[in-house]
Amino acid sequence: MSRFDGRAFARNLSTGPGVYLMRDADGKVLYVGKARNLQRRVASYFTRQQRSPRIELMLRKVASMEVSLTRTEAEALLLENEWIKAHRPRFNVSLRDDKSYPWIRLEAGHEFPRIGFYRGSRKPPHRYFGPYSSAGAVREALNQIYRLFGIRQCRDTVFANRTRPCLQYQINRCSAPCVGYISKEAYQRDVEAAVRFLQGRNEEVIEYLAERMEEASRQLEFERAAQFRDRIRSMQKVRASQYVTGGVTDLDVIGMSVLPGRAALHVVEFRHGRNVGGRTYFPGNLHEDMEEADIMSGFLGQYYAERRPPPEILLSQSPGEPKLWEEALGSRREAAVKLRWRLRGERSEWVRLAVANADDALRRRLAERDQIGTGLAALADLLELPTPPERIECFDISHISGTETVGSCVVFGPGGADKKAYRRYNIHDITPGDDYAAMGQVLKRRYNRALEQEDTLPDLVIVDGGKGQLSRAREEMEALGLDAVPLLGVAKGPARRAGYETLIFGEREAVPGPHDPVSHLIQQIRDEAHRFAISGHRKRRQKRAQASPLEQVAGIGPKRRQQLLKHFGGLQGLSNAGVDEIERVPGISRKLAEQIASHLQASSGKT
């Protein structure tokens, strides 16, 4: 047992509801729990004679405890899951999610607001719709909005610099507000209709489109009237294809599949009578003797910690204390929430399908992990490592002719890719195209930071490259005092054929071959590093391509940029203009005209 006196700690606790938190000697949170009676619950850990091996291990590590009182047990349940989400304790069920939930965001502060895909914190004054279960569900909804209402999807920098409609206008997915093809009032009506569509008020949307069609007909604009007629037909098809039977409005369906120490939960969401998609989750920190009800309870708390529960949730398994869960989720919703798990008819079929999806996802997950485990063991044998590596970091460099160089670091372990630990590095201050210098800079930045923050170091570092790359990597690691970390170089095979890569480890080389589990593992890791580096390079290149030289001139905002571009017919005409010509544009002083001309000449390479 630890030196922590749990019995003495418990004696002074309140007998009311609350949340307790256990820490180890380093201050790391081991476990978070809730209790109807804090004193009795905490004392039970230290007075029981028979405990599971998991609890014994946890109590041996406990060095301190903290508690927080709540007014009700339902409040304690919600606070417990907030703390689990914040601290990720080792001994709690953990819902690890690689990404934040996707939303649709309607941007405020613009005469012609943009609507688009969004991940991240939700801040006013923008308006948010969701969250959605997957990025695919968001993109499907956005495609319908662009097609039905013509809301713009371009960013403000692009919008401000347009002088003629883009392709989205040509294919009837935008009303071209950037060039004045629609009035502010008409565009705002379209935005309001898009909002009603996202809220599921489809009948009102159809009525709005019908009014627009009749208005166009009265003005003898028959081509526009035909466009609205086609939009009404599309809207009716959307409604017919997405609505489900049974009078459903908002509900979630959760199916669970459980094996010893493993679980998968598949969630299907119905919003405003429409199936908006499903997604599978794999809770972590499970132990083999955990009850299914406890797994379901842990999932419910963390899944609804940052989303508003629907009024009805269908489950394949009852959670522990279902009435308490209904009270807790109802307080988050500020309305009643009903949990149901003994079902008949159509609802039982929805749950059965959710369970089938969870079964299939768990089967594929375990097969993938078995393959990774086999590959790690084979890799340890090949490289003569004492044990299979628990953490592998792989680095790659991406650029085109030395421009917009980006380095990537991806992380793999026995559970596969750890995407939260991925990192990208924008490379600077090197000779363009010098991959050796780029690799050296990435490694130096990654492990300097790791040493400063006492971050976890890898058991193996993989470098995508041959002897030159590996030699430079070894120099950087030795300079940082990390020469004990094993390094592996992956050189491309003949004609870049997958599976024939040469693995370089110290002075040894090996070509495992296309059917070896080591090759399968190395290809998976190397391809992921390559993908992550290329996507970062493309984003950096796209950002540069979309940037206007005028954005870097102090005193030139969106309105002045648009005014200048319209006056000269585009950036080329402005670049060819002299200071006197630029000064003639209303609102442009002599000094500002000189700054604009000087900056454009410098950016184009003119002297």
CATH number at residue 493: 3.30.420.340
What is the spatial distance between Cα 568 and Cα 349, in angstroms, rounded to a whole number?
Answer: 64
Give the pLDDT score at 96.
Answer: 63
Point out which residues pair with 411 in neighbouring strands: 393
Q: What is the Cβ-side half-sphere exposure of residue 126, based on CA atoms within 13 angstroms?
A: 18
Is the whole model's pTM more than 0.75, yes or no?
no
Does residue 370 fall inside a structural domain?
A: no
User: Does 282 share its domain with 321?
Assistant: yes
- State how far Cα 33 lies from the chain centre: 28
Does residue 213 fall inside a structural domain?
A: yes
User: Does 397 share its domain with 529?
Assistant: yes
Residue 574 phi/psi, 5-degree rounding, is -65, -40
Give the pLDDT score at 284.
Answer: 83
Whether 383 shows a pLDDT value over 70: the answer reads: yes
53 Cβ contact partners less than 8 Å away, ≥ 6 residues apart: none
Between 530 and 131, residue with greater pLDDT: 530
DSSP 114: -
Q: How confident is the model at residue 252 (pLDDT cuts 50, 70, 90)?
A: very high
- DSSP states along 428-442: -SS-TT-HHHHHHHH
Point out which residues pair with 502 in neighbouring strands: 491
User: Does 427 share its domain with 452?
Assistant: yes
Point out which residues pair with 116 in neighbouring strands: 105
Tell me, letter by letter, the H, E, C secondary structure of 439-486: HHHHHHHHHHHHHHCCCCCCCEEEEECCHHHHHHHHHHHHHCCCCCCC
Residues 324/333, Cβ–Cβ less than 8 Å: no
- By C-alpha distance, which of 57, 47, 43, 32 is closest to 287? 57
Give the pLDDT score at 112.
Answer: 92
CATH number at residue 567: 1.10.150.20
Tell me: the pLDDT tens digits for 122-136? Answer: 788 898 887 776 777
CATH number at residue 75: 3.40.1440.10
User: Does 179 share its domain with 219?
Assistant: yes
Tell me: the pLDDT tens digits for 321-345? Answer: 899 999 999 988 888 899 999 888 8
Say how many C-beta atoms besides its own lie within 10 A of residue 96's C-beta.
15
Give the pLDDT score at 473.
Answer: 92
Q: What is the Cβ-side half-sphere exposure of residue 597, based on CA atoms within 13 angstroms?
A: 16
Give the pLDDT score at 120.
Answer: 78
What is the spatial distance between Cα 56 and Cα 267, in angstroms, rounded to a whole number?
Answer: 34
Does residue 440 fall inside a structural domain?
A: yes
Tell me: the pLDDT tens digits for 297-325? Answer: 999 988 888 778 889 999 999 998 899 99
Domain extent, residue 559, equals 549-604
User: Does 109 share its domain with 129?
Assistant: yes
Give the pLDDT score at 572.
Answer: 76
User: Does 212 share its domain with 259?
Assistant: no
User: Does 522 share its domain with 566?
Assistant: no
User: Does 531 share its domain with 398?
Assistant: yes
Which domain-ending residue is among 345, 363, 381? 363
- By C-alpha distance, which of 579, 582, 553 is closest to 565? 582
Does residue 383 fall inside a structural domain?
A: no
Whether 78 shows a pLDDT value over 80: the answer reads: yes
Residues 465/491, Cβ–Cβ less than 8 Å: yes
Element (H, E) at 535: helix 517-546
E-strand spans in 82-183? 103-106, 115-118, 127-129
Residues 519/501, Cβ–Cβ less than 8 Å: yes
User: Does 587 share its domain with 566?
Assistant: yes
Does residue 1 fall inside a structural domain?
A: no
User: Does 421 share its domain with 523?
Assistant: yes
DSSP H helices in 177-282: 184-198, 202-218, 222-242
| Residue entry with tokens 């008949």 | 344
Which domain-ending residue is among 242, 264, 297? 242
User: Does 557 share its domain with 539?
Assistant: no
Q: What is the mean pLDDT of residues 177-193?
A: 89
Does residue 385 fall inside a structural domain?
A: no
Q: How big is the CA angle at 297 (ends 295 and 300), to the nearest 5 degrees?
A: 110
What is the spatial distance between Cα 557 and Cα 381, in angstroms, rounded to a whole number?
Answer: 61
Grouping H, G, I as helix, E, B as strand and the rest as coil, residue 96 is coil
Give the pLDDT score at 246.
Answer: 46
Q: What's the total number of domains in the chain? A: 5
Give the pLDDT score at 241.
Answer: 47
CATH number at residue 296: 3.30.420.10
- By C-alpha distance, which of 259, 267, 264, 258 is closest to 350? 267
Between 200 and 405, residue with greater pLDDT: 405
Residues 89/29, Cβ–Cβ less than 8 Å: yes
User: Does 145 share its domain with 236?
Assistant: yes
589 Cβ contact partners less than 8 Å away, ≥ 6 residues apart: 583
Query: What type of residue sits at position 424?
Result: R
Tell me: the pLDDT tens digits for 85-129? Answer: 888 898 888 776 545 668 889 988 888 999 988 887 778 889 888
Specify burial of residue 488 (Cβ count, 10 A radius: 0-12, 13-18, 19+). Answer: buried
The mean predicted confidence, pLDDT, of the chain is: 85
Which domain-ending residue is among 495, 521, 544? 544
Q: What is the mean pLDDT of residues 552-559?
A: 76
Q: What is the mean pLDDT of residues 8-26?
A: 90
What is the spatial distance between Cα 381 and Cα 416, in angstroms, rounded to a whole number?
Answer: 19
Say how many C-beta atoms besides its own lie within 10 A of residue 323's C-beta.
9
Does residue 358 fall inside a structural domain?
A: yes
Tokens of 290: 């955990």
Does residue 297 fall inside a structural domain?
A: yes
E-strand spans in 92-143? 103-106, 115-118, 127-129
